[in-house]
């Protein structure tokens, strides 16, 4: 059953592998610089490595946008995105998996009555616009640099050919890694909050988290797509659509890989933040649009001839049409799944504003006399509570989001058996484990109450401003793990 639910994501992965691998190795294979088998092997290997190793950042961004928390919902969100991609491709409209999945998640938010994180959405949409521009700028710069170097190197045509061949393999591997890291969120990102897997450990040593296991599966689906479907696409890309010289192809792939990497690398984000530099948001982007941007960048560097401005318009229209199509499709199909097949497409959450919540909000500086009017009322949709808050209070959007988060009611119980059987002592510090032991048997009705109780026991559970990005993310993963593990499921 789990595999059935995952199948839509895997199908999306297969289609991504079939189509987007061509962006990485298409010209190399189409122009016969690299054999398909070599390209497919390198591409698959590095996509999987990229997905498992670097897929966390973009997945978190998608998770912020909307945490699809029921497997059936994840299934339908991924399926809606996949069908949108397939249908738009067939009709000949420009389409991107990233944009389809974002639309589908928004559709789920709307259907499940969850609030959309507008800041995340703004980051995502801005990134889509920036991505082709950045790819174009990078490609133009590299093109000018390479042209300058080549004009002075008097390198033999055949030696150049050999370097380009080698470069296409290396850059292709980097491109595949970046594609895996950036786009795996599109494939299995929506399954992460409802991941059916446990962490994979051998002798207490954590090898792969449940998230990474999902990424591995998604990466393998992409790899299957590369081997089974991408050859034809690569031939088309290499031979007809993009009449690029191998040198230009190398630049295009490098620019695309760099852009995908920039918007996926958590290491780079930490590096920039550690030096007080602005970090790029980690957002899944469209590799095809990065490629088009890079080609246009080279065109401009060459003097601006032969640029198809219509293509730019088509990309722009894709930013709007794809999410709308996927969102509508997701909404309608979720309706059918829930009402015809009686499947839970989202966890049923209740929101209740009681005195405890209002006091907690006051501590956070969120106060409004209108909150008292809502005290004691229960809501089963975040959007309803949000609408009520908008009517009754003067709170702004961010404050309302805080109220909704604080009012969310979920039961947690620190079951002693679960602590013994599930928790891996090797992953937690001694203090953290001691805190869990102290709380054994306790029950909580809200996530923040549970986390506050943990924090009260030891500093090790508390996020500190001085923490490095990696450390903060690690702590966040542990906190989320606790919430996931000790949540009381319906009927328990």
Size of the site for other proteins (CB under 8 A): 20
Distances (CA, A) of 266 to 64, 195, 249: 16, 22, 27
Q: Is 48 in the site for other proteins (CB under 8 A)?
A: no
Minimum distance from residue 25 beta carbon to other proteins (Å): 14
Q: Which of residues 19, 23, 31, 120 is near other proteins by CB under 8 A?
A: 31
Looking at 31-39, 278-286, 315-323, 374-382, which segment touches other proteins (CB under 8 A)? Answer: 31-39
Token duo for residue 457: 């026991």
Reduced 3-state DSSP string for 110-159: HHHCCCCCHHHHHHHHHHHHHHHHHHHHHHHHHHHHHHHHHHHHCCCHHH
* Helix, strand, coil shares, percent, the chain, to 5: 75, 5, 25
- Shortest CA distance to 474 belongs to which of 429, 437, 441? 429
Give CA–CA dist 68/426, Å, rounded: 29
Do 61 and 284 form a contact (C-beta atoms < 8 A)? yes
Nearer to other proteins, 6 or 22 (CB): 22
Q: Is 162 in the site for other proteins (CB under 8 A)?
A: yes
Q: Which of residues 161, 267, 354, 411 is near other proteins by CB under 8 A?
A: 161
Q: Is 276 in the site for other proteins (CB under 8 A)?
A: no
Minimum distance from residue 287 beta carbon to other proteins (Å): 24
Nearer to other proteins, 150 or 387 (CB): 150
Q: Is 426 in the site for other proteins (CB under 8 A)?
A: no
- Shortest CA distance to 96 belongs to which of 138, 129, 54? 129
Minimum distance from residue 160 beta carbon to other proteins (Å): 9
Nearer to other proteins, 2 or 166 (CB): 166
Token duo for residue 320: 């709007």
Q: Is 150 in the site for other proteins (CB under 8 A)?
A: yes
Q: Is 147 in the site for other proteins (CB under 8 A)?
A: yes
Looking at 153-161, 187-195, 461-469, 480-488, which segment touches other proteins (CB under 8 A)? Answer: 153-161
Minimum distance from residue 270 beta carbon to other proteins (Å): 35
Give CA–CA dist 142/255, Å, rounded: 8
Burial of 37 (0-12, 13-18, 19+ CB in 10 A): exposed
Minimum distance from residue 249 beta carbon to other proteins (Å): 10
Q: Is 368 in the site for other proteins (CB under 8 A)?
A: no
Q: Which of residues 12, 16, 21, 33 is near other proteins by CB under 8 A?
A: 33
Do 218 and 9 form a contact (C-beta atoms < 8 A)? yes
Residues that bind other proteins (CB under 8 A): 31-33, 146-147, 150-151, 154-159, 161-162, 165-166, 245-247
């Amino acid at each position: 059953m789990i595999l059935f639910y995952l199948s839509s994501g895997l199908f999306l992965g297969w289609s991504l592998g079939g189509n987007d691998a061509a962006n990485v190795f298409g010209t190399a294979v189409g122009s016969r610089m690299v054999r398909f088998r070599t390209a497919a092997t390198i591409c698959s290997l590095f996509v999987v490595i990229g997905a498992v190793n670097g897929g966390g950042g973009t997945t978190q961004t998608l998770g912020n946008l909307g945490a699809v928390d029921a497997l059936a919902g994840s299934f339908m969100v991924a399926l809606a995105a996949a069908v949108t991609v397939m249908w738009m491709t067939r009709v000949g409209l420009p389409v991107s998996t990233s944009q389809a999945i974002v639309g589908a998640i928004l559709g789920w938010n709307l259907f499940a009555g969850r609030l959309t994180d507008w800041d995340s959405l703004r980051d995502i949409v801005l990134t889509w616009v920036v991505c082709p521009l950045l790819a174009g700028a990078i490609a133009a710069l590299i093109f000018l640099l390479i042209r300058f170097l080549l004009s002075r190197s008097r390198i033999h045509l055949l030696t150049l050919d050999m370097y380009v061949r080698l470069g296409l393999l290396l850059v292709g591997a980097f491109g595949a890694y970046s594609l895996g890291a950036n786009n795996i969120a599109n494939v299995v990102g929506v399954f992460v909050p409802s991941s059916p897997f446990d962490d994979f450990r051998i002798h207490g040593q954590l090898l792969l988290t449940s998230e990474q296991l999902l990424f591995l599966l998604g990466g393998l689906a992409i790899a299957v797509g590369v081997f089974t479907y991408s050859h034809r696409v690569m031939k088309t890309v290499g031979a007809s659509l993009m009449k690029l010289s191998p040198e230009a192809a190398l630049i295009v792939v490098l620019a695309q890989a760099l852009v995908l990497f920039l918007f996926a690398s958590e290491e780079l984000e930490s590096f920039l933040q550690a030096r007080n530099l602005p970090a790029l948001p980690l957002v899944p982007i469209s590799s095809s649009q990065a490629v088009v941007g890079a080609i246009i960048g080279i065109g401009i560097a060459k003097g601006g001839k032969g640029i198809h401005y219509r293509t730019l318009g088509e990309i722009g229209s894709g930013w709007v049409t794809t999410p709308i199509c996927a969102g509508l499709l997701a909404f309608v199909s979720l309706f059918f799944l829930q009402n015809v097949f009686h499947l839970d497409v989202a966890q049923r959450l209740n929101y209740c504003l009681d005195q405890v919540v209002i006091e907690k909000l006051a501590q956070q500086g969120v106060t409004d006399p209108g909150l008292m009017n809502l005290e004691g009322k229960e809501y089963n949709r975040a959007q309803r509570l949000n609408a009520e808050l908008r009517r009754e209070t003067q709170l702004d959007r961010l404050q309302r989001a805080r109220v909704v988060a604080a009012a969310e009611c979920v039961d947690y119980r620190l079951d002693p058996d679960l602590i013994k059987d599930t928790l891996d002592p090797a992953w937690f510090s001694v203090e953290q484990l001691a805190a869990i032991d102290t709380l054994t048997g306790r029950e909580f009705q809200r996530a923040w109450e549970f986390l506050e109780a943990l924090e009260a026991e030891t500093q090790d559970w508390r996020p500190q401003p001085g923490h490095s990005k990696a450390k903060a993310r690690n702590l966040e993963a542990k906190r989320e793990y606790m919430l996931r593990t000790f949540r009381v499921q319906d009927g328990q």
